[in-house]
Amino acid sequence: MLRKIKNGEEHLIANDPVRPHIPFEQRVGAGKDIFVLDDDADKIRSVICVAYCNEVPTNERDMELWSQQAVQDGQHGRVAVFYTVWSYDKGAGRQIVNQVFELLQNETPCERFVTLSPLTEMARKFHISNGAKFLAKHLDCQNFEYE
């Protein structure tokens, strides 16, 4: 079952292998969401963090700035940015990316669905195997787009 993070689950971000330095308070609220995928026994299988921007960010600083800017302008960002995902079960990372992508396509004004991924071969293989297309490589991250 896909859901948003609950109060009392803030500790989950300590398991983020990509961006553990981003505090919980910076991951939630206007312009941002954390989604959790549970199994039938309510065991957490995977987690994904999303920021809503009006541009495709090339680094964390731009993502934060553009997410805040969309909120200040009274908008929901047109670009959903999947900036970190981790899983506790094999296949759960793929499952949460696909489910969040589908949910946001149907329930938000987002026009684009991109990643802010680390510069690793594992990240590249993960997104390409899930149907994303490579967009660009930057100094400390890379972008993929889901269509």
pLDDT at res. 91: 95
pLDDT at res. 59: 97
Nearest CA to 135 out of 79, 65, 64 is that of 79
CA distance 85 to 93: 7
CA distance 53 to 70: 6
Tell whether the torsion through CA atoms of 122, 125, 126 and 128 is positive or negative. positive
pLDDT at res. 123: 95
CATH number for region 2-146: 3.40.630.150
pLDDT at res. 125: 96
Do residues 92 and 85 make contact, with C-beta atoms less than 8 angstroms apart? no
Nearest CA to 100 out of 50, 43, 38 is that of 50
pLDDT at res. 39: 95
pLDDT at res. 23: 96
CA 34 to chain centre: 8
- The pTM of this model reads 0.95
What pLDDT tens digit does each residue of the chain (147 aa) get? 999 999 999 999 999 999 999 999 999 989 999 999 999 999 999 999 999 999 999 999 999 999 999 999 988 999 999 999 999 999 999 999 999 999 999 999 999 999 999 999 999 999 999 999 999 999 999 999 999
CA distance 30 to 71: 6
Beta-ladder partners of 85? 48
CA 126 to chain centre: 14
pLDDT at res. 88: 96
